[in-house]
Amino acid sequence: MSAKYKTTIGMEVHVELMTKTKMFCSCPNAPQDLPPNAATCPVCLGLPGSLGAVNKEAVRLGIRASLALGCTVRDVAWFERKNYIYPDLVKGYQITQGEQPLGEWGHVLITGDDGNEKKITIRRLHLEEDTAKLTHVDGATLIDANRSSTPLMEIVTEACIDSAREAEEYVRKLRAILVYNGISRCRIQRGEMRVEANVSIAPPGAKELGVRTEIKNQAGFNHMRSAIEYEEKRHAEVIDSGGTLVQETRGWDDVNKCTFAQRSKENAADYRYFPDPDFPSARIDPAWVEAERKSMPAPYEEYIAALRSGGLADADIDAIARNDALGFLRVAAEADAAKTALLAKRLVKDVFALVNSTGTPLDSSKLAPEMLRDAVALQESGKINADGFRQVLARLYAQGGDAAAAAKELDLVIEQNDDAVRAAIAKVLAESEKMVAEFKSGKTATRNALFGKVMKELQRKGDPKAVGALLDEMLS
């Protein structure tokens, strides 16, 4: 941005919460995994006479998100109806939190444009319900209400962000914290995280902010950054040419790389908010909040620092963070923190190899953290070898299940019976008279060839160390 104007940005981020059921009914919260309109009921369709109940797990995740972001959790929070007419809003109103959000006044730390640590202030964090999904095909519009009333959390910052770069870093960091804490998967391509930026510019030192435009639901971090930078430039051009900016909502056209007007921005009064009579104000028990606080994992920044001081290379930490696997690692090492570095290495080397070879991201695979932990333990105890470990891992990645059972089913459990190993060695030595003679005459390299034959005889189920030791003993 030129020195002529100063940019001010506020961010609103919506994330879908990882609950099993919807916000006010027991329909499954799996909008994209079921046929259209299969996950609906009178409550989430807003049929007259229906009455839902607040999803406690959604509130719990909201409390945990508030704590992870340093917000104060209110002890009274209520739901309100936000009234507007739009085809994706099957009820004609959205249940949200207005005056009494669940969490207030938290922050996310980023590196500011001046290179110093900067606190991005979170003004509020509230719970609400999502809308249905519209799909436009051949001039018609299809409505899928599976997403209608799934639990949504909105996180709003103060207008304290100075550039598109700061906005991007804020959203990346916020996403990492939410994924790490198991609040949301935040898969942007699936719409599980949706970002809106309110952008305005004004001469430096101006008392009032300029007219702001809201850029809606950019599909990715790159889109968001481009859209904000485009708006900064557009605002300056309009002002410099003596034009007037209008407060409005704009979308991002990624083909033509520009924003376009979508609708003039409503004011809060247009929505006629009023307390939802079905969900009167609820007290959040402070003891509950304290219990959640105690069971929270180490804060994100602390966890990263602990990994670093535990000897993990920055490149490995970055790879784990990039694959959204910090939370996965934390849970895998929960029972024995001393195993963190070992599990991290397996994650980077073996699990991410599966991410690449299968094209399935870790969080869409069947591999759970406990499965990785158990598979690593099998190898550590010598029950499977490195090759067996990789096979077990690939099976668990595709199908899930129990590591020990997978090792057995795949016939990978190592022959730990010395007699069986001795018999295999004896057989190989008897069949390889020439190689044994070569070895005895000083050609020591032959030993490795013999070792390979023994492992083959054991169908690769031998423990390399134990087999090697027995082979050396029998050769001498």
Is residue 132 a contact residue for Zn ion (CB under 5 A)? Answer: no
Q: How far is the CB of 150 from Zn ion (least distance, A)?
A: 9
Q: How far is the CB of 94 from Zn ion (least distance, A)?
A: 15
Q: How far is the CB of 25 from Zn ion (least distance, A)?
A: 3
Residues that bind Zn ion (rule: CB under 5 A) add up to a total of: 5
Stretch that binds Zn ion, among 35-43, 180-188, 361-369, 421-429 (CB under 5 A): 35-43
Return the number of the residue (26 or 72) whose C-beta is nearest Zn ion.
26
Cβ-contact 428, 475 below 8 angstroms:
no
Site string for Zn ion, 368-407 (x = CB under 5 A): ----------------------------------------
Which strand (E) or helix (H) includes residue 133?
strand 133-137
Give the separation between CA 226 and CA 9, rounded to whole angstroms: 14
Return the number of the residue (44 or 67) whose C-beta is nearest Zn ion.
44
Which listed residue (18, 25, 59, 372) binds Zn ion by CB under 5 A? 25
Stretch that binds Zn ion, among 20-28, 72-80, 281-289, 450-458 (CB under 5 A): 20-28
- Interior/surface letters 230-245, b for 16+ CB within 10 angstroms, e for the rest: bbbebbbeebeeeeeb
Q: How far is the CB of 43 from Zn ion (least distance, A)?
A: 5
Q: How far apart are the first and last CA of the chain?
A: 77
Return the number of the residue (43 or 393) whose C-beta is nearest Zn ion.
43
Q: How far is the CB of 345 from Zn ion (least distance, A)?
A: 44
Cβ-contact 106, 122 below 8 angstroms:
yes
Cβ-contact 144, 130 below 8 angstroms:
no
Give the separation between CA 413 and CA 140, rounded to whole angstroms: 58
Q: How far is the CB of 47 from Zn ion (least distance, A)?
A: 10
Return the number of the residue (94 or 213) whose C-beta is nearest Zn ion.
94
Return the number of the residue (27 or 414) whose C-beta is nearest Zn ion.
27
Return the number of the residue (19 or 213) whose C-beta is nearest Zn ion.
19
Q: How far is the CB of 364 from Zn ion (least distance, A)?
A: 25
Instruction: Write the single-letter amino acid at 28.
Output: P
Which listed residue (1, 30, 38, 41) binds Zn ion by CB under 5 A? 41
How far CA 55 is from CA of 7, 238, 367, in Å, comes to 39, 47, 27
The alpha helices in 241-299, defined as continuous H runs, are 286-294
Candidates 45, 63, 24; CA nearest to 288 is 63
Candidates 405, 310, 305, 392; CA nearest to 351 is 392
Give the separation between CA 434 and CA 446, rounded to whole angstroms: 10
Return the number of the residue (44 or 120) whose C-beta is nearest Zn ion.
44
**Order of strands, sheet of 6-16, starting from the edge strand that comes earlier in the sequence:** 72-73, 103-111, 117-129, 151-157, 6-16, 193-202, 213-218, 248-253, 258-264
Return the number of the residue (41 or 202) whose C-beta is nearest Zn ion.
41
Site string for Zn ion, 43-72 (x = CB under 5 A): xx----------------------------
Is residue 27 a contact residue for Zn ion (CB under 5 A)? Answer: yes
3-state DSSP assignment of residue 100: coil
Is residue 38 a contact residue for Zn ion (CB under 5 A)? Answer: no
Stretch that binds Zn ion, among 19-27, 284-292, 404-412, 415-423 (CB under 5 A): 19-27
Q: How far is the CB of 39 from Zn ion (least distance, A)?
A: 7
User: Which residues, in sequence order, are bridge partners of residue 127?
Assistant: 153
Return the number of the residue (44 or 178) whose C-beta is nearest Zn ion.
44
Stretch that binds Zn ion, among 11-19, 23-31, 65-73, 129-137 (CB under 5 A): 23-31
Return the number of the residue (13 or 44) whose C-beta is nearest Zn ion.
44
Beta strands in 203-318 (DSSP E): 213-218, 248-253, 258-264, 274-275, 282-283
Positions that interact with Zn ion (CB under 5 A): 25, 27, 41, 43-44
